[in-house]
Amino acid sequence: MFAHRNRPAFVFFALQIAMCIPSLMRANAQTSNTWTQGTAMPTARQGVATGVIKGKIYAIGGATNTAVVNFNEIYNPTTKIWTNGAPMPTPRFVPASAVVNNILYVIGGQSGSGVVNVVEAYNPTTNTWTTKAPMPTPRDSIYATVSKGIIYVIGGFSSGARLTTMESYNPATNQWTTKAPMNVGKSLPGVGLVGSAILAAGGFTGPGVTKDTESYNPTTNKWTTIAPIPSARQGGCAAGITGHLYFAGGSNGTVLKSLQVYTASTKAWTTLHAMPKGLINPGAAVVNGRLYCIGGSNNGALFVGSVFNNVEIYQP
């Protein structure tokens, strides 16, 4: 019973580590399906363009309570500190945004005096902006996602109509291509890449919000209607994360807090833990598997209601 006296010290250290592992696993498990707060964004805004480059979140443009702006504020989730980058040349609200090869593209949006088709690209290494080929269809209230280096911009609003439009942009060639339209025209759906499919859930159709959810196959250039999102909504915080589409907050006429997730393997939706504060038109970003919901408002329209500087973080 006293044989352990001759064991080397490192054996005892290994045993102590092994004994700690279960408690560490329990601690990590407790963080699943929970929300936490990050450092507030310096400027309260809604409808910002977002992108993640080398672990930092870029929150660009959007609208304050009084103006459409071109601010470029950068959040480091590790240090929880915000810094500033070069402002975007064209101020705009509810544009699409996407990152390819560490370049952030901001596409279309609302200038405050009309819908635009401007495409501007930000290089954080040089802290400079470059103007790219304009999007064929000027529109706002849009989101984008990336598949195999190609940016896909989905739906939106223009000339009084909610659009079925899908257009893709190839940063390598600086060229746009028109793709198959969605089955249902809508603005501000929850968009994300789930596996190899691009999903567009919910959105605003004109008469009202919808539960319609569609899946796009970039290889076949076809849209397929899939299981509808349980709660109709538009303008929430959405992103694809490891085989799931998460869609939090938004509006169905009132501000929503609920979080619903679509799982590709089961082809079904599940309701998860609600976000602390309901938000309309927040920016969305994913860092280390966590969903960041940045800014937003309690109304969604320009210069109506209040805008926020919240950073709400969901751990799946």
Segment 10-14 mean pLDDT: 37
What pLDDT score was predicted for residue 289? 98
pTM of the full predicted structure?
Answer: 0.91
pLDDT at 17 over 90: no
Q: Strand 175-178's sheet: what is its strand order? A: 143-147, 150-154, 166-170, 175-178
> Comparing C-alpha atoms, which of 53, 45, 130, 55 is closest to residue 95?
45
CA 226/CA 213 separation, integer angstroms: 6
What pLDDT score was predicted for residue 1? 37
Segment 167-189 mean pLDDT: 98
Identify the structural domains of the chain with CATH numbers, from first to last. Answer: 49-315 (2.120.10.80)
Q: Read off the pLDDT of residues 185-198 as tens digits, 9 standing for 90 and up.
A: 999 999 999 999 99
Q: Read off the pLDDT of residues 221-238 as tens digits, 9 standing for 90 and up.
A: 999 999 999 999 999 999
> Comparing C-alpha atoms, which of 118, 152, 261, 121 is closest to residue 202?
261
What pLDDT score was predicted for residue 20? 42
pLDDT at 13 over 90: no
Contact between 186 and 192 under an 8 Å Cβ cutoff? The reply is no
What pLDDT score was predicted for residue 5? 39
What pLDDT score was predicted for residue 45? 98
